[in-house]
């Protein structure tokens, strides 16, 4: 394996997740270390409009000097966003971050880093400025916030999500198989096709006209490196109101401590639990992780780094609206997996037809940050074909090690993990209910009073169209390995119910 591929696909045995930190103006009150992992935000302080913190993450890369077309010219980044709470209404609101790069700074960290602001001020990307790879350790970050509602002391939480850059490039849509509307036609998405849109019937049998405003994967975007974890989901729930929480869980938020937040028909639906009950309609509940089901929450083996599974389309859209991201489209999914490479018939996210299903029965250190596979390392390893309710998805990046390549780690062309298997990816369908989404229709950081996403151009979170699935999950049987392929359009009209096979992953168009 080449040095470049090692850079791009090298992953720590520790995975990412999002960290939350709570402070009161200028004074760090408490730090919640829900789980050790490789994305850390600490030492949060605030002075006026500036919020400062220390940022670390592992196995960062920038391969923009790569000359081998088998590997990407790209980088990873951390999407950072901030929520604040005033002492008037106690609601967690999004803090705008300046859209001017010069208002922000990052120093140290062991590499030359930069802060890339975004036009809608919903967050910033922090990334390597130049080619290199390795850990980013204790970078000092200061971000300029916009005005906040309220006066006096504020509380702040700083969140980070690891993402991967997919540069502007062509996409060979479909893997060459043709079967009604089950596969995209083998066409190439070029600048011209993105600019003009697609005519009726061009993308698949019976496809509607696809407007030029629909993101087709040609233009650059960032995609979450991993499926959202239990810890990330808990952090999200813990910023919502009581009524918003009620929409995003199955139980009532005022249920007793230790109550499963979700009706658990499989073991992993029981990980997220109520730690502190809410008070009806006033005080929100506090949630935590408890895979071990012993009411000792957020300890080292409670599944914080395992993807969250009790997901419905409304949950996925709410999380992305809150995080200032947006759902990916079906074409962006194929782009994230295949990159600009030639299509390969029946290929999986790792770019080949090798398929070696693994389950949680193959894991050691289950539920911890070092959860690992004990199975023989081969190409095409994927969490799939379990079918056992006691199983579930595995920790993000489970097959990635210091010596793994794309095919043995399961990485997509650009380095997104578990795009095939683990949990189904939910995305905007190139069809009914999905065609109004645009490149820059990101979430605004706030949800409706009942906890739903409310971005006008997105699929209706309460509707029956607009969201599709790709990539298969831990549950599907080996005979259904077709579901795990990049190109297979399994379900293009996901309903509103929650499922233990769906996951959360979002994108954001790059400026």
Smaller CB separation from Ca ion, 243 or 444: 444
Reduced to 3 DSSP states, what percent helix, strand and coil does the chain have, rounded to the nearest 5? 15, 25, 60
Comparing CB distances to Ca ion, the nearer of 62 and 404 is: 404
DSSP assignment of 301-339 equals: TS-TTSBP--B-HHHHHHHHHHHT-BPPBHHHHHHHHHT
**What is d(CA 493, CA 244) in angstroms, rounded to the nearest whole number?**
25
- Residues 425, 505: contact at Cβ < 8 Å? yes
- Min separation Cβ 344 and Ca ion, Å: 19
Please state the closest distance from residue 14 (CB atom) to Ca ion, in A.
19
Smallest gap, in angstroms, from Cβ of residue 13 to Ca ion?
Answer: 19
Give min distance, CB of 475 to Ca ion, in A: 12
CB of 307 to Ca ion, least distance (A): 8
CA distance 201 to 379: 36
Angle at which helices 230-237 and 313-323 cross, to 10° = 70
Which residue's CB is nearer to Ca ion, number 178 or number 296?
296
Cβ at position 384, least distance to Ca ion in Å: 10
**In what helix (H) or strand (E) does residue 398 lie, and over which residues does it extend?**
none
CA-based nearest residue to 81, from 438, 300, 321: 321
Tokens of 50: 């500036």
Nearest approach in angstroms of CB 291 to Ca ion is 6
**Smallest distance, Å, CB 259 to Ca ion?**
8
Tell me which DSSP letter residue 366 carries. T
User: What is the DSSP code string of 134-149?
Assistant: EEEEEEEEEEEB---S
CB of 294 to Ca ion, least distance (A): 5
- Our CB check for Ca ion shows the closer of 133 and 261 to be 261
Give the number of residues written for the chain.
Answer: 511
Q: Is 126 helix (H, G, I), strand (E, B) or coil?
A: strand
The residue (of 108 and 258) whose beta carbon lies closer to Ca ion is: 258
State the Cα–Cα distance between residues 18 and 506, nearest whole angstrom.
14
Please report, as ranges, the residues that interact with Ca ion according to CB under 5 A: 260, 270, 290, 292-294, 296, 299, 302, 321, 418, 422-423, 444, 446, 454, 471
Q: Judged by CB, which is closer to Ca ion: 160, or 471?
A: 471
Category of 33 on φ-ψ map: left (φ > 0), alpha (ψ -120 to 50) or beta: beta
- 120 vs 302 by CB, closer to Ca ion: 302
Which residue, 17 or 46, has its beta carbon nearer to Ca ion? 17
Distances from the Cα of 345 to the Cα of 172, 198, 217, 272, 459, angstroms: 12, 23, 20, 39, 30
Nearest to 320 by CA among 173, 423, 447, 135: 447
- Closer to Ca ion by CB, 53 or 424: give it: 424
Q: Residue 448: exposed, middle, or buried by beta-carbon count in 10 A (0-12, 13-18, 19+)?
A: middle
Least distance (Å) from Ca ion to the CB of residue 217? 17
Torsion of CA 203, 205, 209, 215, to 10 degrees: -30
Write down the least CB distance from residue 383 to Ca ion, Å.
8
From CA 225, how far away is CA 397, in angstroms rounded?
Answer: 9
Comparison of 171 and 271: residue with beta carbon closer to Ca ion: 271
From the CB of 186, what's the least distance to Ca ion, in Å?
A: 24
Is the Cβ of residue 172 or residue 442 nearer to Ca ion in the bound state?
442
Closest to 447 (Cα-Cα) out of 307, 324, 281, 329: 324
Nearer to Ca ion, 189 or 325 (CB): 325
Q: Which residue is nearest to Ca ion (CB)?
A: 270
Instruction: Please say whether the beta carbons of 503 and 309 come within 8 A.
Output: yes
Question: For residue 372, what are the β-bridge partners?
Answer: 364
């Amino acid at each position: 394996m080449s040095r470049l591929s090692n850079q791009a696909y090298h992953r720590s045995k520790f995975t990412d997740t999002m960290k939350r930190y709570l402070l009161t103006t200028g004074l760090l009150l408490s730090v919640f270390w829900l789980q050790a992992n490789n994305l850390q935000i600490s030492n949060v302080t605030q002075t006026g409009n500036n919020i400062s913190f220390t940022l670390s993450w592992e196995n960062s890369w920038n391969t923009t000097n790569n000359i081998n077309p088998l590997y990407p010219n790209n980088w990873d980044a951390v999407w950072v966003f901030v929520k604040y709470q005033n002492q008037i209404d106690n609601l967690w609101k999004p803090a705008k971050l300046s859209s001017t790069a010069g208002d922000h700074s990052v120093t140290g960290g062991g590499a030359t880093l930069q802060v890339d602001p975004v036009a809608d001020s919903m967050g910033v990307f922090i990334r390597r400025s130049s080619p290199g790879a390795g850990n980013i350790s204790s970078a000092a970050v200061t971000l300029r916030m916009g005005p906040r509602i309220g006066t006096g002391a504020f509380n702040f939480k700083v969140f980070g999500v690891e993402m991967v850059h997919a540069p502007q490039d062509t996409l060979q849509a479909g893997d060459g198989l043709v079967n009604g509307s089950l596969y995209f036609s083998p066409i190439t998405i070029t600048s011209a096709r993105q600019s003009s849109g697609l005519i009726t019937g061009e993308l698949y049998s019976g496809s509607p006209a696809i407007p030029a405003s629909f993101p087709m994967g040609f233009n650059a975007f960032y995609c979450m490196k991993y499926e959202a974890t239990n810890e990330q989901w808990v952090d999200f729930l813990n910023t919502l109101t009581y009524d918003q929480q009620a929409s995003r869980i199955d139980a009532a938020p005022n249920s007793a401590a230790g109550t499963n937040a979700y009706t658990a028909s499989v073991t992993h639906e029981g990980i997220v639990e109520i730690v502190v009950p809410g008070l009806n309609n006033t005080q929100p509940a506090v949630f935590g992780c408890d895979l071990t089901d012993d009411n000792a929450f957020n300890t080292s083996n409670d599944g914080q780094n395992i993807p969250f599974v009790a997901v419905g389309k409304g949950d996925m859209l709410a999380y992305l609206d809150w995080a200032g991201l947006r759902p990916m489209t079906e074409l962006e999914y194929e782009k994230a997996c295949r990159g600009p490479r030639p299509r390969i018939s029946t290929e999986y996210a790792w770019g080949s037809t090798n398929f070696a299903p693994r389950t949680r029965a193959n894991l050691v250190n289950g539920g911890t940050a070092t959860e690992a596979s004990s199975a023989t390392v081969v190409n095409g390893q994927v969490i799939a074909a379990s079918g056992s309710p006691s199983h579930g998805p595995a920790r993000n990046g489970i097959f990635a090690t210091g010596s793994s390549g794309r095919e043995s780690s399961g990485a997509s062309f650009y380095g997104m993990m578990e795009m095939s298997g683990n949990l189904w990816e939910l995305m905007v369908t190139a069809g009914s209910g999905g065609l109004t989404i645009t490149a820059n229709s990101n979430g605004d950081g706030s949800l409706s009073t009942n906890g739903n996403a409310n971005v006008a151009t997105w699929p209706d979170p309460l509707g029956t169209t607009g969201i599709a699935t790709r990539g298969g999950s831990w549950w599907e049987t080996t005979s259904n390995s077709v579901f795990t392929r990049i190109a297979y359009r399994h379900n293009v009209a996901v309903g509103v119910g929650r499922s233990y096979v769906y996951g959360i992953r979002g994108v954001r168009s790059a400026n």
